[in-house]
Structure 1
Amino acid sequence: MRFGLIMSEVGQGLRRNFSMVVSVVLVTFISLTFVGTAILLQMQINEMKGYWYDRAQVAVYMCTATTDTANCNMTEATDEQKAAVASKLESSELSPLVNEYEFETHEEAYEKYVEFTDSAEADYITPEFLPETFWVNMVDPTQSGVLIETLSGTPGVDEVADQRKYLDPIFDALNAASYTAIGIAALMLVAAVLLIATTIRLSAFSRRRELGIMRLVGASNRFIQTPFILEGVIAGVIGAALAGGATVAVVHFFVQGYLAETMVATSFVGLEEAAVVAPILLAVGIVLAAISANVAISRYLKV
């Protein structure tokens, strides 16, 4: 009987403030969708970092006849110098760190250059202008500094470069986008909390006569507050469920259905990650709605 009376009050409150409830649902839906997007974006950044950093190589560029650096001095690396670099890579000091390496000749470098460069520009370049290179795959990419320190300054070596440094600006930009999404999500969550609180106070105001009667007959504050808290929670749950569904749909149709097929040379989040995010959004929606509704009705009853 007590539970039935509470649910009756909840239904009455939802009907009386239907438009406001719809507003709460929409704001909660939008705000939690931003939250889910921010979480998934950070997951995607971590996924791509793991994928690309593991594949990033250390490039050991050998001197060419046109390299004007102190270690080269416009002198082509000799066969002995190239053999010395290969010997160091296979030495007991570096071999445990090196997964594998391959040597790229002038002609192979030129073929790659022609493949990825406008043909008009390639007419002005000859293979001798492009350095011969040792491409090294590390067992642990984070230990590339040891390789750089050991081979830098070796006779015939122009530069030792870790390709991960070219990836860092890209991931910095993605992180900035993730932080922006988090900031927008936080603002939207504040808006949702304020709207839930306003809706609860309006609902209480519209039923002020009933609340007065309930107080006169000895109803406790907890009994009076429960229907209003449930109203907020119901609206929050609906909004959070819609946000979770939208998150799963975005991953399924856009990320896995479009990006993964269009950009096959990388790794993307999947439905497993979306399935982790959806319950988080539901929990956040319930907690925020319950807390904001409880604070709003408690303050109203004290007035």
Structure 2
Amino acid sequence: MRFRHIFSETGAGLRQNLTMTLAVVMTMWVSLSLFGAGLLANQQVELMKGRWYEKIEISVFLCTQYSNGDQCEPNTEVTQAQKDAVQQALVSNPEVAPDGVFFEDKQQAWEDFQRAYEGNPIQSSLTVDQMQESFRVKLLNPEQYQGVVSSVVGLKGVDTVQDLHKYLDPFFRVLRFLQWGTIAASALLLAAAALQIGNTIRLATFARRREIGIMRLVGASNLYITLPFLLEAVISALAGAVLACATLASGVYFIIMRKAQVSIQSLPWIGWSQAGWAMAGVAAVGLMLSIIPTLVTTRKYLRV
């Protein structure tokens, strides 16, 4: 009997505040969709960083008689002593992975060049003597590379130091900006949804103030009085969360799986496992945004 009364009160409240309920559902739908998109974007960035950063090497190119670097002597090849000094600086650097320093001589560099440009007219443009010797360096943590670069860039015999971070870091900064921009926009909309829920509960308590007073007189507990309002908020939030999850699932399927994965197969792409985590986050945030404002509002306005 008690539960029947709670459910009937919940249904009556939803019907009486139908327009406000629909406004809450739509606001939750949009805001939770943006929040979930931000979570998916974060996972996509991490996947791409993991794939690209793990392949990053630092290349330390040594001087040749054709080099004009600041640490190169004109028309002079790098000496063996200079090579040893560069190698020692790399091997002793804590940012370098164990056994992560590889030396490439002119012959190996020329063979790599031939393979890379096979069939291209540029293939015959360089001779073995014109190639640069270099050290290829694997990093312990691909995101920590500044110490390695600074340890060798000023050594004698070093022409240039090359790494891909100067190209990848700006790209990931843009992705991070878009990601946090999406989350910030969703946070504003989620705050608006929480305020709407609180306002809806306030109007509902005001409209049913006589019934609340009667329940107080007959000894109804605060929990019993609050439950219909709490269920109204939870139902509205769950409806918005379900629509948001459907939106995220559609986006992952139609945009990522049907388009992006087919068009660019060389990149790692998020899938259903990542979408599942995002949907779980959306559902959790939706429930919190329904429960907390309701409890705060009812505590204030149920005093009759």
TM-score (norm 2): 0.80
Q: Is the 8 A contact 1:58 1:161 kept in 2?
A: yes
CA distance, structure 1, for counterparts of residue 188 and residue 300 of structure 2: 23
Alignment of 1:10-89 (within 5 A): 10-63=10-63, 67-75=67-75, 77=77, 88=87
- Distance in 2 between the 1:266 and 1:149 partners? 31
Q: 252-261 or 289-298: which moved more? A: 252-261
Tell me the CA shift for residue 76 of structure 1: 6.4
- Equivalences for 1:23-172 in 2 at 5 Å? 23-63=23-63, 67-75=67-75, 77=77, 88=87, 96-98=98-100, 103-105=108-110, 108=113, 127=126, 132=132, 134=134, 136=136, 138=138, 140-142=140-142, 148=149, 152=153, 156-172=157-173
Offset of residue 220 of structure 1: 2.8
Q: Which moved more, 1:275-284 or 1:54-63?
A: 54-63
Distance in 2, matches of 1:200 and 1:213, equals: 19
Q: Distance in 2 between matches of 1:100 and 1:64?
A: 19
Q: Report the Cα offset of residue 146 of structure 1.
A: 7.2
Is the alpha carbon distance of 1:28 and 1:73 closer, same or farther for their aligned partners in structure 2, counting shifts above 3 Å?
A: same
| Matching of residue 232 in structure 1 with residue 233 in structure 2 | yes
How far is the alpha carbon of 1:209 from its aligned partner? Answer: 3.1
Percent identical residues? 33
Instruction: Answer yes or no: is 1:252 the counterpart of 2:245.
Output: no
Give the CA deviation at 1:194: 0.3
Per-residue deviation, residues 261-297 of structure 1 (Å, max 9, x unmatched): 2222221221101111212211211121011112222
Q: How many angstroms does 1:144 deviate by? A: 5.3
Corresponding position of 1:7: 7
Amino acid at match of 1:105: W
Range that drifts further, 56-65 or 43-52: 56-65
State the TM-score, normalized to the length of structure 1: 0.80
Cα deviations by residue, 1:226-267 (Å, 9 ceiling, x for unpaired): 101110011011111221222222222212222222222221
Q: Distance in 2 between matches of 1:292 and 1:144?
A: 47
Q: After the TM superposition, which segments of 4 or more aligned residues of structure 1 sit over 4 Å from their partners? A: 91-95, 99-103, 109-112, 143-156
For 1:159, what is the secondary structure of its paired residue? strand
After superposition, the Cα gap between the structure-2 partners of 1:150 and 1:205, relative to the gap in structure 1 and judged at 3 Å, is closer
Q: Give the number of aligned pairs.
A: 291
Cα pair 2:101 2:135 within 8 Å, conserved: no
Contact kept? 1:105, 1:133, Cα under 8 Å: no
Give distance in 1, aligned partners of 2:151 and 2:220. 80
Task: Indicate the SS of the match to 1:299.
Answer: helix
| Amino acid aligned to 1:175 | R
